[in-house]
Amino acid sequence: MAHSNINLTLKIWRQAAGSSTGNFEEFKVSVSPHASILEMLDELNNSLEKEGKIPVAFESDCREGICGTCGLVVNGHPHGPQPKTATCQLHMRVFNDGDTIYIEPFKAKAFKVIKDLIVDRSGFDKIQQAGGYVSFNTGSAPDANAIPISKDIASLALDAAECIGCGACVAACKNSSAMLFVGAKVSQFALLPQGQPERYERVSNMVAAMDEAGFGSCTNTYACEAECPKGISVSNIARMNRDFLKASIKM
């Protein structure tokens, strides 16, 4: 059965560079309800290029909801109004014909706007680099059951490891905190035996890198968990805080 296009008004943030003043620019589009928001932006850019105009700059990579580079604020929500959905998997059918959609970059002190909808997320890279490595003895691969790990603990570690580092937690937080991101990256190792040797050094270094990058403190409003496309739990923040306190005592 054929589905007719829906007509939308787009208010897209345009900013030539980080040092420039940005503003919303209006566009009228007619798109398939089955198109993703990135496909809609592709179509818009094709039209702009045909008219000799500058296309809208935005980031994307996997378009499968697993890399996080596509993150945009859509109608005030990081990744859009649909819960646990990355921007690239947000389809136009969640909007109605005649709707006006506001599209902005993830704005935060630590996420400098590069151009239009693209921001610099290198602060996240620096935090992960500060986490260092996981040490283990070299040699032949151990048997799968050589290090017994309970199902509950393994599930918690895997849940934390689902974080795709998109920055939605930062964009959702009124203080632009990266605590949920750092908590998840700390927890995925802290919960497992393999992560114990560097556990407290790791959390100290990652928190220091977070502060140095300019991210704010936690607001305890849980907005980060609500807007996270992977539903990362704020319990990871609590675990990180406990480990950081222990690290302060030990070091």
Q: Verify that 165 and 237 share a domain, yes or no.
A: yes
Q: Verify that 188 and 243 share a domain, yes or no.
A: yes
Q: Verify that 40 and 134 share a domain, yes or no.
A: no
For residue 138, what pLDDT is reported? 60
Examine residue 88 and state whether it is found in any structural domain, yes or no. Answer: yes
Q: Verify that 160 and 92 share a domain, yes or no.
A: no
Neighbours of 15 (CB within 10 A): 19
Examine residue 96 and state whether it is found in any structural domain, yes or no. Answer: yes
The pair phi, psi for residue 31, each rounded to 5°, is -130, 160
| Vertex 201 angle, CA 110 and 112, to 5° | 5
Q: Verify that 159 and 197 share a domain, yes or no.
A: yes
Q: What is the CATH classification number for the domain harbouring 225?
A: 1.10.1060.10
This prediction has a pTM of 0.92
- Positions in the chain short of pLDDT 70: 1-3, 136-139, 141-142, 144, 251
Examine residue 112 and state whether it is found in any structural domain, yes or no. Answer: no
Q: Can you give the residue range of the structural domain that contains 239?
A: 121-250
For residue 1, what pLDDT is reported? 47
Q: What is the Cβ-side half-sphere exposure of residue 24, based on CA atoms within 13 angstroms?
A: 13
The residue written with tokens 């909808």 in the block is 117
Examine residue 113 and state whether it is found in any structural domain, yes or no. Answer: no
The residue written with tokens 């005592």 in the block is 249
Q: Domain total for the chain? A: 2
For residue 251, what pLDDT is reported? 63
Q: Verify that 84 and 54 share a domain, yes or no.
A: yes
Classify burial at 198, counting beta carbons within 10 Å of its beta carbon; exposed 0-12, middle 13-18, buried 19 or more: middle
Rounded Cα distance, 133 and 3, in Å: 51
| Nearest C-alpha neighbor of 186 from the set 167, 165, 164, 160 | 160
Q: Verify that 10 and 87 share a domain, yes or no.
A: yes
Helix and strand element counts for the chain (H, E): 8, 7
Examine residue 208 and state whether it is found in any structural domain, yes or no. Answer: yes
Q: Verify that 211 and 97 share a domain, yes or no.
A: no
Examine residue 18 and state whether it is found in any structural domain, yes or no. Answer: yes
Q: Verify that 245 and 125 share a domain, yes or no.
A: yes
Q: Verify that 147 and 174 share a domain, yes or no.
A: yes
Last residue of a domain, one of 104, 139, 163: 104
For residue 241, what pLDDT is reported? 97
| Nearest C-alpha neighbor of 10 from the set 92, 114, 99 | 99
For residue 220, what pLDDT is reported? 92
Q: Verify that 92 and 11 share a domain, yes or no.
A: yes
Examine residue 89 and state whether it is found in any structural domain, yes or no. Answer: yes
